[in-house]
Amino acid sequence: MRLLLTGGAGYLGAQVLVELLQAGHDVTVLDNLSTGHVEAVRRAQALAGRPCSFVLADIGDTPRVVDALDGVDAVLHFAASKLSGESMERPERYFRNNVAGMCGLLAAMEATSVRRIVYSSSAAVYGAQPVMPVREDVALRPESPYGVSKLQGEQLLEWMVRCRKWSAVSLRYFNPVGAHPSGALGEPVEHAASLVPRALGALTRPDARFTLFGTDYPTPDGTCQRDFIHVTDLARAHLLALRALDAPGHAIFNVGTGRPYSVREVLTACARVTGREVPMTAGARRPGDVPCVVADPRRFQARMGFTAALGLDEMVASAWRWWLTNPRGYADAPAPDAPTSDATPDAAPAAAG
Ligand SMILES: NC(=O)c1ccc[n+]([C@@H]2O[C@H](COP(=O)([O-])OP(=O)(O)OC[C@H]3O[C@@H](n4cnc5c(N)ncnc54)[C@H](O)[C@@H]3O)[C@@H](O)[C@H]2O)c1
């Protein structure tokens, strides 16, 4: 298929880019590089052994997106702002980028009759839920502007499906963790706010300590439990989601493992994989953190045959490989040529892994 991948220079988009190219799809990445890196696109091409096209543009720039959609069969929409905490400080930025920006993308798709889309949604749409594991059809209660913006993205698609006969798949990711097995693609350090990067950062930076937010939750070891999924499994899920676009309508799937791990279990895995204890300080609960969030993964499994294959140690080991080989993220990569519209970034050799 010919695909447009928005946000393909980001943490998750670049992992998916490798899978799409390896599966033989022709891909154009469209990204404004606000948090992404052209080096990630280069490395993804090198890993896949196939090139893609790159368009430096904003999703809200409808005329530019219209040009990029020429000949495209379907869109995978990753481009967004993703930090819940930041969204509590700057809600307007999140609605502008994730909702208004997405409207620009959808307008371009409608103008070019590209009516098939896979959307990166989030478990943040659920908010605090009384029953775990959480199923897709529960009442949604997002608790941050980020979560609301992701839900509004799903709702936009729901109406495009109903009113304009689109096919849409919304994937609600739980907690993506890890890096490409080569160690060449991972979460850039400057955006690494999640658990595993914070733990590994505390191992690699002499002045850093990991703060354990809350040890008195009603969970087996007192720390929060989350559903972590390896980015390689998550990337693979998108190949199945593309197949789901063959059916009309809006399919919504949880993308998780259904297996919760506590913060302490993750820290133990970090020690097991790295051979070093994470320096740690017990802190107070963070406002808004709920004790346990875990997916009911059965719908995606039953309808599309998706099962996550990789476990916690593989998630941590791949993230550790990325941190060791790219201690400053993509900052040490050779300076890229300024990307231009429709340029194909040169395939650069992958970092040693
Ligand atoms: N990483 C997670 O933990 C997580 C969890 C659930 C859902 N998601 C969703 O997955 C998607 C990708 O997340 P990620 O972790 O790769 O984030 P990221 O910040 O690493 O990647 C986002 C990419 O989109 C680009 N971008 C942002 N706004 C844009 C715009 N207006 N126009 C063009 N490009 C733009 C950025 O430059 C970046 O390359 C997001 O939609 C996010 O909401 C992520």
What are the structural domains, with CATH classification, of the chain?
2-325 (3.40.50.720)
The confidence band for 207, taking pLDDT boundaries of 50, 70 and 90, is: confident
The confidence band for 213, taking pLDDT boundaries of 50, 70 and 90, is: very high
Q: Determine the distance separating the centroid of ligand 1 and the alpha carbon of 16, expressed in angstroms.
A: 12
Nearest residue to 36 (alpha-carbon basis) of 14, 15, 4: 14
Ligand 1: lining residues by beta carbon, under 6 Å: 6-7, 9-13, 31-36, 58-60, 78-80, 82, 97, 101, 120, 122, 150, 173, 176, 191
List the single range of 5-9, 60-64, 331-335, 349-353 with lowest mean pLDDT. Answer: 349-353
- The pair phi, psi for residue 214, each rounded to 5°, is 95, 125
Of 11, 126, 146, 173, which one is the catalytic site residue? Answer: 146
Nearest residue to 177 (alpha-carbon basis) of 273, 250, 106: 273
pLDDT at position 338, please?
40
pLDDT at 288 over 80: no
Residue nearest to atom 29 of ligand 1 (CA): 79
Nearest atom in ligand 1 to 34's CA = 37
pLDDT at position 335, please?
52
Q: What is the pLDDT of residues 28-64, one digit of tens each?
A: 999 999 999 999 999 999 999 999 999 999 999 999 9
For 94, the token pair is 């999140």
Q: What is the pLDDT of residues 222-263, one digit of tens each?
A: 999 999 999 999 999 999 999 999 989 999 999 999 999 999
pTM, to two decimals? 0.94
Quick check: is 146 catalytic?
Answer: yes
The CB-side HSE value for 332 (13 A sphere, CA atoms) comes to 13
Element at 31 (helix H, strand E): strand 26-31
Q: How far apart are CA 44 and CA 58, in angstroms?
A: 21
| High-pLDDT (> 70) share of the chain, % | 94
